[in-house]
């Protein structure tokens, strides 16, 4: 197993950038488990109502939102990530206090949250894909039955561009996912 100087590794970034794939490789390399931030969203949704957490229940309560622009969907994604931040922070703190080492990955991680979690035992990195056409190809490769997902790719591209600009403001790294064959090594360098 590879040596690590962290207890919690947070890997954020938009959908379609390969977070789950690279985190799977890191799990094997470091011999630690992983958790998806999407699971926290699912748990919070199950324990709340649309009145209590309107942002987190938005898609199930407002089907008409699927006709929104990519910019509007991106804004809602940021709002949902901010709404989940206290839950994500609590899970990180739980792992720091008495839980096993873990890699947590997902779309709903924001640089501001990463900046608030000041612990030498936590590392944070964001991934992004700078080529929107590559995101279309990534989604098509993993979800062929859906056909090309141009709007979803656009939202992910917007999110990635925002992360690339925002992460350094909070003292965390944002790295492009390509070249893919060196991503794992570049990610490890970024979290040292």
Residue pair 187/22 in contact (Cβ under 8 Å)? The answer is yes
User: Could you tell me if residue 47 is inside a domain?
Assistant: yes
Q: Which of 26, 25, 21 lies closest to 9 in space, CA to CA?
A: 26
User: Could you tell me if residue 94 is inside a domain?
Assistant: yes
d(CA 16, CA 25): 17
Residue with tokens 């947070």: 10
Tens digits of pLDDT across the chain (192 residues): 888 999 999 999 999 999 999 999 999 999 999 999 999 999 999 999 999 999 999 988 887 877 899 999 999 999 999 999 999 999 999 999 998 999 999 999 999 988 788 899 999 999 999 999 999 999 999 999 999 999 999 999 999 999 999 999 999 999 999 999 999 899 989 888
Task: Please provide the DSSP assignment of 116-171 as one string.
Answer: H---TTEEEEEEE-S-HHHHHHHHHHH-GGG---HHHHHHHHHHHHHHHHHGGGGT
User: Could you tell me if residue 1 is inside a domain?
Assistant: no
The structure's pTM equals 0.94
Cα–Cα distances (Å) from 32 to 74, 98, 150, in that order, read 32, 15, 35
User: Could you tell me if residue 57 is inside a domain?
Assistant: yes
User: Could you tell me if residue 162 is inside a domain?
Assistant: yes
Enclosing domain of residue 132: 8-190
User: Could you tell me if residue 2 is inside a domain?
Assistant: no
User: Could you tell me if residue 66 is inside a domain?
Assistant: yes
Total domain count, the chain: 1
CATH number at residue 19: 3.40.50.300
User: Could you tell me if residue 3 is inside a domain?
Assistant: no
């Amino acid at each position: 197993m590879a040596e690590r100087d962290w207890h919690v590794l947070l890997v954020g970034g938009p959908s379609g950038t390969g977070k789950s794939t690279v985190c799977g490789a890191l799990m094997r390399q470091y011999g630690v488990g992983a958790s998806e931030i999407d699971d926290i969203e699912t748990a919070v949704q199950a324990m709340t109502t649309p009145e209590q957490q309107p942002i987190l229940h938005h898609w199930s309560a407002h089907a008409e939102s699927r006709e929104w622009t990519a910019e509007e969907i991106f804004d809602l994604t940021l709002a949902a990530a901010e709404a989940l931040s206290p839950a994500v922070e609590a899970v990180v703190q739980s792992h720091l206090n008495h839980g096993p080492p873990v890699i947590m990955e997902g779309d709903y991680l924001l640089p501001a949250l990463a900046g608030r979690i000041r612990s030498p035992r936590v590392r944070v990195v964001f991934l992004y894909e700078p080529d929107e056409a590559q995101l279309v190809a990534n989604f098509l490769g993993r979800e062929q039955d859906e056909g090309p997902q141009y709007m979803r790719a656009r939202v992910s591209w917007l999110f990635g561009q925002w992360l690339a600009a925002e992460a350094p403001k909070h003292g965390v790294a944002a790295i492009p996912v390509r070249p893919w064959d060196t991503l794992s090594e570049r990610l490890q360098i970024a979290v040292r």
